[in-house]
Structure 1
């Protein structure tokens, strides 16, 4: 019995090492201990045989999730968010430091968040720390306590308790974070550009788009790159929506600057031209841009300039989206997408000739590697056995009321998509710390 597996999954299709192959996956004590031929005869306590329409994939790792608990738990909480993640094939989330009260800007706040997450979470949960004015001396303690890096804003974050950094403050934070080889992740929009742009008001999406121009992202990203070059600190550009920035990111990398970038399903699935008047469920910052811009983001993924695709699940209560007035100036900016992000990305990726191997790379392997969870986000001997069964050809229509998100408002409501998560396995869901 010593050699008997806890679980054997016989998969005619599985994503392993960048290929789709037939394989048996053997699991013992929460780890993959064996990859064998499809017809291998192996003793196991439980044997699962997948259908020909199903693909075994690693559980996704979503490094950009706003859970909002404690403090704004009516927006979302660990119980609802992690159920939604599991239903969407996501087995690990990294929670953002803001929108909860208190924000995760010191170790005491981190411990509060860990305490409330511990007994509610059905997937793995890790935490980002925050970099805000006045907490420079908290960055190293937060790092030592196991956060995966630090988030900052270069303009108002939307909540007063998480203020932005000035460029001099950002440079000091980068110097400090570089001293222990940490990671700074940046909401990169320039406050000056936005303050000089038209103020958003009314129901026309074009007016909101004018209020958050590409120039705001382009300016901020160039500043972040220059400060990374100067300090040697690792930096990551959050929720890239401006394709204009792709050449400067590529050039910076060739120059040795340690910069990575992500984009999000809503920038890859929607375009500004098709957003109806008053449809504030599509409001997010930076905004969804034009169709041509969207295609250039897809090209950025193909070229490897964009490293990861993450949800930026940023929910709120229905009333904050101001669906009653449709006023883009008043509505909360954020899109709830955790449960549907895999299906949404796969639908659009497959239309453009990408394979499921690409999607797994962007949403599981690369995201795991970004935060140092190199024993997740892939199917290989020795890794944690967090796995999902995905039916890539099954179609469904998103119904916001049936999602596990706490509030039934999302830009994906009534959208037809391909790809259903039929099952997920988690080795041992719990709270994660940086290695």
Structure 2
């Protein structure tokens, strides 16, 4: 079987916020009225079946909606099942993407003890964040998110920040980047907001034409060369991985869409969280296993939808990097962001290639030094571009040799640290 990870929606699209741009909130309508919560039966079954599949690392990604609506007890049970069925299966990693507003001391203690990697959504300072990320009564959520971020830091929970780039903040790259810097956020992820209405027109909250490319170019210029060794940006890490290993760490940059399965609260399995709809339901984890799911013709066809590319793509020098973009961004067969990606790569590719060459040389030098008689592994040495430095406790760095992993992803060794701070050091 091909390696894959799980993106689990234990509370479906249920959420305590009403963000203007949320694409998943409407998914609740597929499952009827009322609260949507994953049962212990579904949780245990998906865990048992997933951990029975031989893989270098088993990654559980908990998302929503808002996954913390399930309560701490649900995740304590999840970890219990992981230990019961994963005692001999190798490393297990957990990540949790949250709006951060419900985090408290109990959450902090659990997430730290269970070594979860937590992503928290922040769209910039309050004047930008509170345009889109709202409570049900229309209040901005920024103050509550900052309290949640404080909980993570107080309990030393490994975390990163996800920023959705929409019409609200598309012209404020410098404000957003500098604000995250002021917060001390060195692990960042920027996601494009591209949504179309039933009439095929761009939604008012989505990125304006040309703004994604401008935003990324500005972020890169703020990051390079000053912050390349201090700040990790997931897209930039993936580009470097593609240049160094031939394999990106972001699914949109790959040539195949079969990277993970989405598990809904009721056990329903889908190929992508952007495509949770009845016609793409692959089955239910209560009645089928992952081997059968991977062999489905529907799944095979889904995975190959990125090909063939349009003639314009085939002639583009940046196709090996963007791979035609995520299919959800395609409009009329071509990515809505096609020109944006070209602007970004044209502006940055030379410097990315220089960074990749420097990183490769540094890795080779470190490997050669490690082979010398009497060599002692060092800690605290200068880090590679986009990486951090410092001593690492726990599993030995370099212990993982499986499929490519993003430097800001959970380390496959199961330490609970980011890959770049553990085996990717």
Which gives a bigger RCO, structure 1 or 2 (Cα 8 Å, sep 6+)?
1
Q: Specify which structure has the higher proportion of strand.
A: 1
Provide the TM-score with structure 2 as the length reference: 0.40
Q: Which one has the bigger helix percentage?
A: 2
